[in-house]
Amino acid sequence: MSNPLLLRGSRAAAALIGRRRAGGTDGLPGVRPAVQRRFIIDTSYSTHFMDFKGSSIPSSMKKLVVTKLSQDFREAVTVRTVPVPTPGDAELLVRNRFVGINASDINYSAGRYDPSVKPPFGAGFEGIGEVVGLGLSASSRYTVGDTVAYFGSGGAFAEYTVIPAKEGVPVPCVKPEFLTLLVSGATAYIALKRLGDLANGETVLVTAAAGGTGQFAVQFAKRAGCHVIGTCSSDEKAGFLKSIGCDRPINYSTEDLAKTLRKEYPKGVDVVYESVGGSVLELAVNSLANKGRLIVIGFISGYQTASGIAPFKGGTLPVKLLQKSASMRGFFLPHFIGDYKEALSSMMQMFAKGELVCEVDCGDMAEEGRFVGLESIFRAVDYMYAGRNLGKVVVEVAPPTADKSKL
């Protein structure tokens, strides 16, 4: 089986995550160690326009940079002090308040997304914060002080990030809940809509159900009138799953998953939203009902290995699928960008109406406490890989701007 994360030449993937920007890590040799304050930058009105309206933007900032390819995030990534990047004509400079952690942050640091991208490059897929600078054409849609979320610009794990204005998602305020929708929510929404073919009364199994994307798969399957089963590793997560409508949470650390599925769902499950891989994927295939659909969302149980894939016994897979007229379908968010706008606006509306729970885990219950500051991203990644998170893992990069009038 080839590694589906090796998307050499995939334009969509490159557009989403593989981009290195001018003013990003390319500027490393010119690092100025001391943080100097600069109040207004006016670099050539002929090419672009920046208006900081008196806000004080430092000349340098901290940023997480992948300096060595490795699935071990701590080994791969270094905190660097680099110049604050300058936005181009159609770009925004965003002061990041919160950034989202994704299971694939370690696939990215291992170079599995785009093998042509060589270190050093910026880590992190998504952030939310305030616009503090912008180019002239970007100013037709944005102004300094706007709140914006974004994903895909390979470099969110930084105090400031430059993003193309067209990739910004305007948000009413800087709530970390909005950050849960950009990748985790959108993945569940679009994957189930486009590949799930959910029908009222069907049974849906969601693995890693209490995590970033799993929580949304549970809620969307429930909204479609399905009976939802969700796997998780603790009673606390099982309680959370109940609270968001999951009919049958299965805490696999105290209940045997295979036995439970066999006993309680003898006809099998119609749809699986599968994120774990390896033996869980095998079990999910074996648990499919006739005409069942298994959506491959990820295989986190293999990400920390050198190959990135957990062992999977696929020899009899064609027989199993044929005998049940079942199918396995892969889903990768960047391939569904055409669905993205509708997905986001629909989820925003549900959230505004109180119809969607966007659970955020900022590490308040973590041993060393809440994830605050860029350096705590390392702890946040470890926390996710220890299976500790309930909801989407989010790091608070910076406190709110003290004096809004300065923006």
Ligand X SMILES: NC(=O)c1ccc[n+]([C@@H]2O[C@H](COP(=O)([O-])OP(=O)(O)OC[C@H]3O[C@@H](n4cnc5c(N)ncnc54)[C@H](OP(=O)(O)O)[C@@H]3O)[C@@H](O)[C@H]2O)c1
Binding mask 313-352 for ligand X (x = CB under 6 A): ------------------xxx-------------------
127 near ligand X, rule: CB under 6 A = no
Nearest approach, Cβ of residue 210 and ligand X (Å): 5
Q: Which is nearer to ligand X, 155 or 212 (CB)?
A: 212
- Residue 231 tokens read as 């796997």
Nearest approach, Cβ of residue 161 and ligand X (Å): 19
188 near ligand X, rule: CB under 6 A = no
| Size of interface with ligand X, in residues (CB under 6 A) | 30
Strands 269-274 and 126-134, by their bridges, are unpaired
- Residue 185 tokens read as 């929510």
Q: Which of residues 388-407 bind ligand X (CB under 6 A)?
A: 389, 392-393
Sheet strands side by side (includes 269-274)? 248-251, 227-232, 203-206, 269-274, 288-296, 327-330
* Cα angle value 185/174/92 (rounded, 5°): 95
Q: Which of residues 236-255 bind ligand X (CB under 6 A)?
A: 237
Phi/psi of residue 97, nearest 5 degrees: -95, -45
Q: Which of residues 89-108 bind ligand X (CB under 6 A)?
A: 102-104
Q: Which is nearer to ligand X, 278 or 373 (CB)?
A: 278
381 near ligand X, rule: CB under 6 A = no
d(CA 178, CA 234): 26
Q: Which of residues 204-223 bind ligand X (CB under 6 A)?
A: 208, 210-214
152 near ligand X, rule: CB under 6 A = no
Check whether the bond before 399 is cis (ω within 30° of 0): no
Query: Which residue carries 């001391």 as its tokens?
Result: 34
**Taking the CA of residue 368 as centre, how many other CA atoms within 13 Å lie in the half-sphere pointing to its CB?**
11
- Residue 27 tokens read as 């500027």
Q: Are 214 and 241 in contact (CB under 8 A)?
A: no
233 near ligand X, rule: CB under 6 A = yes
Binding mask 278-317 for ligand X (x = CB under 6 A): -------------------xx-xx----------------
By C-alpha distance, which of 191, 16, 24 is closest to 113? 16
Nearest approach, Cβ of residue 278 and ligand X (Å): 8
Q: How many CB atoms lie within 10 A of CB 335?
A: 16
From 138-146, 352-360, 362-370, 380-388, span contacting ligand X (CB under 6 A): 380-388
Interface ranges with ligand X (CB under 6 A): 102-104, 183-184, 187, 208, 210-214, 232-233, 237, 275-276, 297-298, 300-301, 331-333, 384-385, 387, 389, 392-393
